[in-house]
Structure 1
Amino acid sequence: MPNWKSLANPERIVEIAKQTQASGLSDDELLEFLQVCNALYRSGEPLISDEAYDSIFLAELQKRNPNHPFLNTVEPEKAFAGKTVTLPQRMLSTEKAYTKSSIEKWLSNIEKAAQELEIDPETLVFRATPKLDGFAAYDDGQVLYTRGDGRKGTDISRVFERGMIVGGSGKRGLGAGEIVVNQSYFNAHLADTFENARNFQASVIKEKELEQHALEAIQNQAAVFYPFCELPDWQGPSAELISDFEAIVANVHTVVDYDVDGVIFEVTDERFKQHLGATRHHHRWQIAYKSNAETAHVKVLRVTPQTSRSGRVNPVAELEPTRLSGAMISRATAHHYGMVKEQGIGEGTLIELTRSGMVIPKIERVITPQPPQIPEFCPSCGSTLVWDCDYLYCLNTSQCPAQIENTIEHFFRTLANNDGFGEKTIKKLHVSGINSVYAIYQLTLEQLVNAKLGSKDKVHILAKNLLNQLQRSRTEAIEDWRFLGAFGIYRMGLGNCERLLQHHRLLNIFALTIDDIILIEGFAEKTASAVVECLALIKDDFLKIYQLGFNLIQTPLITEQKEKSSPIAGKTLVFTGTMVHGKRDDMTKEAKRLGAKVASSVTGKTDLLVTGSEVGVTKISAARENGVTVISEEEYLALLG
């Protein structure tokens, strides 16, 4: 579960969930709400619809900061006991669409790619499969992993040891899929115990001894792991997909007796998959169509302000608890206080609430307005708020608890190479007088013990663990663009940080002018101006923290990449299996530094498949079919010299 600061109050969460706009939320509040919604969805208690999640909150984040790291982050599944391990293959999220026109736009992009590859678009075959609403996992034939954050998951092979079968052909090692429960069985035997199937699916994976109903579901083969590649499907050309769109969607929804919350469309040609590739978040050759939506008229109980890391104060509409699409909704975002003021959102306001895609609620419209609830003071520090266009801001940046704590948490969360510095810990440290990232790195064991972070019998252990994690954050290798992104520079998501450092060294960026940054693709004048201004503001703090000594992986400059020469320069590699001489993530980074491209799946364009131990059959078979050279880890290292 994510660490939440300003959304720690359940009533506030419910309030935001009922909103139909996200413009009134502060940056931190918006991000925290997205994390809350995702965590609740993954744990089987969806708060709002998928459409609201995507079209209101995620769209608002993308509007404010197109390169925000959250947009490129695979939403993490619920954590389970056990050490996290690197997945054999990245498990990305799926881009979503809610209208037929969005699917047509996606098909148009595929057609453009076909022209680039000099392929007749009419010869392309598309596949449509049900989008299972289960628990994502990956089976390499030896281990079944949770999806985790898309890069690392936990070993849950115990579900097979308990008797769970594989859906479809029953074969192991077929890659990504979902743990699902038979819908008919759930309705007949489990509906009285569990609110929805996702709650039950999570119970099947528990590490400890299972309850009787979970064991019976496995024994009756009602709970299965279903590989995506084995799902029944529709296949055909794009013209047929569009002309018979409604019928195809309706049919695919019913081809399996499991919970389905949409249809997955993908192009089947491997050349396209390789050519289109993926963002850090999703594959470009695949899209999910989700159409289900429910609405209700709901009364607003109050509008609660929340202060973000940037100082923006966002309104969350707390609602009368209302059930939509099987979930109890009690909050919705009001986007920004300009909307609250203009539309009359306050105590007693009647709104139309929409929940699409089984996940996120959205304030569709205001039916009966009431006097708006506009705060005068920051809910975190009590400072007088000021208007900036439609937004309210707290300008007490140096002393506002919410801004300080959100800033610290953002730093450690973005580094992603440490554990323990979540909401509760940071809040307690702040209460103890620690108000900056640099101050946290100066902490002693005695100070951590005195901060009373845990019970008396565990406080010393916890303090030592936190010191170890601070040391780990400095010694464990991370990309320099990730380190830069941890400082939360306005308009500088991880993608923009990486682009910037492909042209300029990390310590040189503070001398850059607006004109210097505009020369970089993707940076407009407005963004460049904001970046220069923010870099000046963080320079002193940045240098203090940088000088603590971090193990930063330097981003290769584009000029260096062009001059680079190595045995694997220009080649496309795929790593598979468990490596002996290093982590696969590290090997991937090293290969990229040497000029190679690293892919996650084997295609006709793959040059080398590098194998470790415990290799699944899927990639080996694909390599043989495509004539790809297969070498061992030892042979690969020898090749590099």
Structure 2
Amino acid sequence: MADADALEDAPEDNPYVRDPDTDFAPVEDLTEDDAEEQVKLLREAVRYHDYRYYVQNDPVISDYAYDRLFERLQQLEDAFDLQTEDSPTQRVGGEPVEGLGTVEHVAPMLSIDSSGEEADVREFAARVEREVGETDFVCEPKFDGLSVEVVYEEGRYVRAATRGDGETGEDVTENVRTIESVPQRLRGDPPDFLAVRGEVYIPREAFQEYNAERVERGEEPFANPRNAAAGTLRQLDPSVTAERPLDCFFYDVLAAGKSEADVDADASRGGLDAGFDTHWAEHEALPDWGLKVNERTELADDVEEAIAFRDDLAAVREDLNYEIDGVVLKVDDRRACVDLGVTARHYRWAYAYKFPPRAEVTTIRDVVVQVGRTGRLTPVALLEPVEVGGVTVSRASLHNQEEIAEKGVGIGDDVRVERAGDVIPYVDEVVESHSEGHFQMPEECPRCGSDVEYDGPIAYCTGGLACPAQLVRAVGYFADVLDVEGIGEAAAQQFVEEGLVEDDVADLYELAEADLAELEGWGERSARNLLAELDAARHPPLGEFLAAIGIPEVGPTVARDLADHFGTLDALLSADERDLREVEGVGEVVAGHVREFLDNERNRRVIERLRDEDRLGEPEFPEETGGDELEGLTVVFTGSVEGWTRDDLQDLVVRHGGDAPSSVSGNTDYLVVGENPGTSKREDADEHDVPELSPGEFFELLDERGVDADR
């Protein structure tokens, strides 16, 4: 039985509040009136239990009992068509939208002036005292999330918007609706119209768990909780938002009154309109209305207490389950706030005392194991986000078990992080160990459960393409090497999860337009474009074919050397290790990898499937190199060029000493844009300031370089 004191604010005579009986009668035994009455009680109870859990942080029933109540409510709403917009069951997310609209704020949502210097904070307090006299300060954590305006009318959730430019923001109503700590109905006796300001964030523990899942799926993790929260809140599909662990703190009344037309839009008056003379009174009222506030907020008598509050909070910053980057001092007296006013951008009655940026020492929150396309297992440290050389770092490769053991790296340890060549983050050393022993690599693949084997210090999954992680990466790599636009990481994952690619990369050539068009985010046009891309990639040069099938240690350069040396695929297939070592750039290790790959029965089956005329067909013989006229030139192609396949154009550049990769980077000299070009390469070209050439301009360039292109 729940503590009676904890239930003083509970709805009366509701059987689903105190030790609820969850042994429900069958739905078919209920009349419509019975169902409506039970739904009414269940909604009331679920809202109450949400309040106890999310706002009071003091649940009065078990998670199991709550889940049973929620499931019953959902069951009855579906069976009797009793859904309402403000029901707790509607947090699962609505239909996707084409784009986020804009909303004009009820009152301007201004920013807060800030500094990390104590002297600046004292000057703020001195100015306040000069203008309005002595005052108390409400001190609260400065959350590192995304600020939102949430509006209620007659106690019901109406809309939500991001801060935007302060005057208007993005309409995120349906996404915020999915956040469980944002009530659909207010409690108590709130104003008829209420606009409140809050901060949407992702708790640290949930952030690390979610990032671990992304890394294990082969996706890039979010850099920090703020980026994750911002990206999640701006999703066009609310059901995606509902799956991610967003939370929200509330801390300001922006406006209040009998209706929206009735409120005073002055940014400083919100609390006064609601009848509150102080910010502290607001802070105490918000949870009475069911709005979650931060428990560490305090009232300081003067600036000395406010500074002490900031120092105390800085000392426990790493122990909090949410990101903060300082504290906010607010003048408590709301009438004094009106007198102090605002600037064009800032409230003059509030100031943020920032923490110094984190040093390069941070904490390992978790270690996850990523499965590469060749089956290699790579341990990845998920870090408390830290600034390293001006870049936020939240992950670092630990490379292998040998390195982990040598450095003694374990979960919970404080480590020093550096960036190799100012680019790739790595764990340099353990500064302070908090773990018992170091991290141990798993004995089974985390994705498919196959045994793990070692080649020296490197761990490999033995599942091959039966492992979904390897298959996803193999598909993405294959498409990238053959320059098939439209198959990125997300699409490859989608094809494997939906069963369109089940066995190996050759399944790509069995994709049907109708099946592709039905996938989420696809349509008939994108399906047709992808099939055209796959068709254009048939009969690739032998070097590209060898690179695309994913032989370990064989990238485009080694693959081209193998093709030049052996001339045909059959000749390579029959070559022994001694023959392979005769190839320039192929040593004993690479020769061993090539022979082992080609001897694998499954890999031979994939090769034979790809050689089928209905798929890639027989790889073309490599052509002789034409010279070095284009040496040092890097050209990328997008779209079609009349009379030429993309493979022919790339081969032309390579045969004359240039480089023709499939993607744009900072090293690209030109992007050649033909008919019906893709968008991604042009966007990358814009980002890297890469000039574009028409096909005619490209051939003129070849003429200038002395390359005779027979068109």
TM, length-normalised to structure 2: 0.39
The higher relative CO (CA closer than 8 Å, separation ≥ 6) is in 1
TM, length-normalised to structure 1: 0.43
- Bigger Cα Rg: 2
